[in-house]
Amino acid sequence: MTAKIDLAGLELHELEQELVRLGHPKFHGRQIFQWIHKRGITDLALMTDLGREVRQQLSSEVEIHTPQVEGKERSIDGTTKLLLRLSDGKQIESVFIPDTPSQTFCISTQVGCAMKCAFCLTGRMGIDRNLTASEIAGQVRVLARELQMLDVRFNIVLMGMGEPLHNYEATMKALRILNDEHGLAISARRITLSTVGVLPALERLATEPVMPNLAISLHSTTEDQRDMLVPLNRKYGLKDLLDACRRFPVKRRERITFEYVMLNEVNDTPEDARRLVRLLHGIRGKVNLLPLNEAAGIPFDRPSDARVNQFARILADHGVTVSVRKSRGRDIRAACGQLITESKKTQAPGRRLASLMEQGA
């Protein structure tokens, strides 16, 4: 049997073409697109500006997939984490972060992650599969519906499970769907894509008509150290990544964000801070320091506030714009690097870099 087309994964022009192919007027495509992506309605029976016969016919011809909420946890700080089940039974997590200062949805692009960053629980899952454009955009619809925010402005960060540029086509298609004026009409200025540096895809991103804000997961100031913390660095090195950032078209009054997870006595020294200043010279960027969110299975410690402040002060004194991200949702394991849908709590936090090197990581 031929699989039914999932209308939720089609851009407006594709949806219109599919309706015409099925023998329906083109304008029904726009109506359905608005129902799905603007109003959050995915039941054809409720799309009341379509005739009853049209709805009945379409129900046998197409599908509209939406991630289903399997669990919801709320942190003491208001952060909400949703466990979502996909149509094939796979699970992902998405997070709502209030008061940031804007409302922010953190969404996933893969089931698991192939990047294997040493400080990230999601990387310990490995990669199961890529999400479809329908599943990526669907998380936003589900969060907006569950939180009654379909008519509220919010930001989106592609910082959940997975590496967005490792699933390039589906990620960019989802962003075009979310950006469409007939749907949620989310401006590219309100979307941030975080990547560890998949260079060929980063070069493509620079040419996209819907270009999100760019955040680079840097985390290190030397090639050897980054090779171990971010294994992809062995393929696309630190120097090549920063050269690509220098070429990246940054809009006026905007900057590339460099994310830097701080690991106690690993990458948080004054020497690291001074090297970081030199590395970022000539790049329109800013640094976002993220003190490690400790968890069982992550072999590092969170640095003290004094070490974080000292690092930040060195950057600021050298003219680098720097902020320290406040961890949100740590009590429900919803903070950066903590998203994981399969428990692998086999190690306690606190093991140092040397221990990891002994394992051949």
Active site residues: 93, 336
Helix axes 270-279, 305-317, angle to 10 degrees: 40
- Within 8 A by CB and 6+ apart from 228, the residues are 118, 353, 356, 357, 361
Crossing angle of helices 133-146/27-37, nearest 10°? 50
Structure tokens at 229: 């913390």
